Amino acid sequence: MDLVFTNIVNGLMLGALYAIVSVGLTLVFGIVKVINFAHGEFLMVSMFLVYLVTTFFGVHPYFSLILVLPAAFVMGMLVQRLLIEPLQNSDEHIMIFATVGLSIALINLMLLIFGPDILNTPSSGLRQPVNIGSGMFLTGQLNILICAIAVVGGIHLFLTRTQLGRSIRATGQNRSAAQLMGINVSWIYMVTFGIGAACVGLAAVLIAPLYPTSPEVGQYFVLLSFVVVVMGGLGSITGALVASMIIGLVDAFAGFYLGANVKDLVVFGIFLLVLIFRPQGLFGGARNLSHVS
Binding-site ranges for other proteins (CB under 8 A): 35, 83, 86-87, 90-98, 100-112, 115-116, 215, 219, 223, 226-227, 230, 261-262, 264-265, 268-269, 271-272, 275-276, 279, 292-293
> 193, 64 in Cβ contact below 8 A?
no
As measured in angstroms, the least distance from the Cβ of 80 to other proteins is 13
As measured in angstroms, the least distance from the Cβ of 269 to other proteins is 7
Among residues 14, 11, 8, the alpha carbon closest in space to that of 225 is found at 14
As measured in angstroms, the least distance from the Cβ of 265 to other proteins is 5
Task: Closer to other proteins by CB, 56 or 277: give it.
Answer: 277
**DSSP per position, 80-133:** IIIIIGGGTTS-HHHHHHHHHHHHHHHHHHHHHHH-S--B----TTTT-EEEET
Name the burial class of residue 186, with classes exposed (0-12), middle (13-18) and buried (19+) by CB atoms within 10 angstroms of its CB: middle
As measured in angstroms, the least distance from the Cβ of 35 to other proteins is 4
Task: Closer to other proteins by CB, 87 or 136: give it.
Answer: 87
Among residues 204, 149, 166, 188, the alpha carbon closest in space to that of 33 is found at 188
As measured in angstroms, the least distance from the Cβ of 136 to other proteins is 27
CA 60 to CA 44: how far, in whole Å?
19
φ, ψ of residue 213 in degrees (nearest 5): -100, 130
CA 252 to CA 30: how far, in whole Å?
29
> 169, 236 in Cβ contact below 8 A?
no
Report DSSP state, residue 82: I
CA angle 92, 72, 221 (to 5 degrees): 65
As measured in angstroms, the least distance from the Cβ of 274 to other proteins is 10
Name the burial class of residue 123, with classes exposed (0-12), middle (13-18) and buried (19+) by CB atoms within 10 angstroms of its CB: middle
Task: Closer to other proteins by CB, 1 or 276: give it.
Answer: 276
Task: Closer to other proteins by CB, 9 or 107: give it.
Answer: 107
**In 208-259, which ranges are continuous DSSP H helix?**
217-232, 237-258
Report DSSP state, residue 211: S
Task: Closer to other proteins by CB, 212 or 269: give it.
Answer: 269
Task: Closer to other proteins by CB, 257 or 268: give it.
Answer: 268
Task: Closer to other proteins by CB, 61 or 233: give it.
Answer: 233
As measured in angstroms, the least distance from the Cβ of 45 to other proteins is 13
Task: Closer to other proteins by CB, 59 or 83: give it.
Answer: 83
> 40, 219 in Cβ contact below 8 A?
yes
As measured in angstroms, the least distance from the Cβ of 81 to other proteins is 12
